[in-house]
Structure 1
Amino acid sequence: MRIGCAAIALCGAVIVGDIAQAACRQALALGLDVSGSVDAREYRLQMDGLAAALDSPKVRQALLILPGTPVELLVYEWSGPEDPTVILPWTAVTSAPVLDAVIGALRATERRQATPGTALGLAMREGVAHLSEKSNCWKLTLDISGDGKSNLGPRPVDIKPEIEPTGITINALVIGADAPALGDLRQAEISGLSAYFQNNVIVGSDSFVETALGFEDYAEAMARKLERELETLILGQVDGLVSAHKTGHTHP
């Protein structure tokens, strides 16, 4: 099925020719939790996990399938109110070498000092500020990864009304307890945390929460989330481009 989707996307790109040259198809900002609950090992699993997800075959295909209208990526870290830091500035993924450079940069990133608090509401606001720079992109998506509830700054539920009118989608990757000794309690813990992100964080009619049962599962969970986001956009884009071609309009 997904191979068929890729073929449809390529056909759509051929049909519309230079219609697809003017803009990026998606701006994707990824906010990574580096608060005090994330230790050095978990930090490395998160960073390398994102790199591995971007390097997975299905995600690579989705990112590179329409280089004339690329996805633009930005990655930032967040914890306390003063700590948001961009570790990958906006980068248009226009070719395999560019994607390889992004992956290499993430794998080479070293942990910096950060305060232990979890200012999730401010992390949402930070991502939206970055996405506001990308008005040329057809879809604006913020991905927040986190392993706990907000305990500093404005509550995420109070930030949501600011974001909802912007058209920005916020998805979440919730990371559950990493200790196997907890056994079945991990499922209960992550269910509660997922419900918190569902009710307080995500924004948009097509938004969703993905889960990772510990940082060991982060790479696979991130790959699943990216596949879902990017594949949906490709199919929607092709439909819009083909419709524009038929009606004579040049914008999706």
Structure 2
Amino acid sequence: MTLLRTIAACVCLTPPAYSCDLALALAVDVSGSVDSTEYRIQMDGLAAGLRDPIVSEALVRGKARVMLVQWTGSSRQMVTVPWTQIDSFEAIDQFAVKVANDPRVWRNFSTAIGEALESTMSYFDTVSDCKRHLIDISGDGVSNEGVEPSDVHRILRTRGVTVNAIAIEESEPDLTAYFFENVIVGEGAFVVSASGFADYPERIRKKLLREVTQQTADLK
């Protein structure tokens, strides 16, 4: 009986096996404050960041799953590139091509950050085999419609989803502080500041580097 109990205890203490290190949802702001040129800067910058040699190697090594979401006002969030397994450099390049070529879904609506987080969070149910669940959200303004982003924090924590953000301070110089106080959540969560859209490509690259090269033991 003692041996059986010991075996059972060992089984219970064995950590779950994961086939994927990171599930990364890239949530891009396409609200009315983002013009067509700024939208293109975001998508091209994101595609270039994903192709960074260190970023792409980390994603391939971790067999990451990556997804692209466009979001704006209430009830306007859409997965435009679904979960894609990054198990080769060809896979990351194909995903980056889809990001760069992704047509804009909306262009004249408000900013509902809380609903963007709620909607994106629901898609992590299909990638439960990934060790880390992370939403990477960009934005150039405060939430002005729908549920407050801070009201979603409790369920994000409960479900083990971390939120990092990039604040594009084109017209709102205090946006980084707002994102820090109201948007990001999870142990080690962080905000990266871009002074404007022109600064976005380099800042998103550095943000991706910080996110995907974390040791898997340093979970958020």
Aligned to 1:129: 122
Unaligned runs of 5+ in 2: 1-16
The structure with the largest helix share of the pair is 1
Aligned to 1:226: 208
- The Cα of 1:156 is off from its aligned counterpart by 1.0
In the alignment, the residues of structure 1 paired with residue 164 and residue 40 of structure 2 have an alpha-carbon distance, to the nearest angstrom, of 22
Kept in 1, the 8 Å contact 2:70–2:105? The answer is: no
The structure with the largest strand share of the pair is 2
2:81 matches 1:88: yes
Q: How does 1:1-252 map to 2 (within 5 A)?
A: 23-64=19-60, 66=61, 69-177=62-170, 189-190=172-173, 192-234=174-216, 236=217
Could you give the per-residue CA deviations for residues 134-163 of structure 1, whole angstroms, max 9, x where no partner exists? Answer: 111101001110000001101111121221
Kept in 1, the 8 Å contact 2:34–2:107? The answer is: no
In the alignment, the residues of structure 2 paired with residue 130 and residue 30 of structure 1 have an alpha-carbon distance, to the nearest angstrom, of 12
- Alignment TM-score, normalising by the size of structure 1: 0.76
Unaligned runs of 5+ in 1: 1-20, 179-188, 241-252
Aligned to 2:6: none
Instruction: Report percent identity of matched pairs.
Output: 39
In the alignment, the residues of structure 1 paired with residue 187 and residue 125 of structure 2 have an alpha-carbon distance, to the nearest angstrom, of 19
- The Cα of 1:56 is off from its aligned counterpart by 1.4
- The Cα of 1:97 is off from its aligned counterpart by 0.9
Give the RMSD, CA atoms, in angstroms: 1.9
Q: Runs of at least 4 residues of structure 1 off by over 4 A?
A: none
Specify whether residues 113 and 202 from structure 1 end up closer, same or farther in structure 2 by C-alpha distance, changes over 3 A only.
closer
- The Cα of 1:113 is off from its aligned counterpart by 3.1
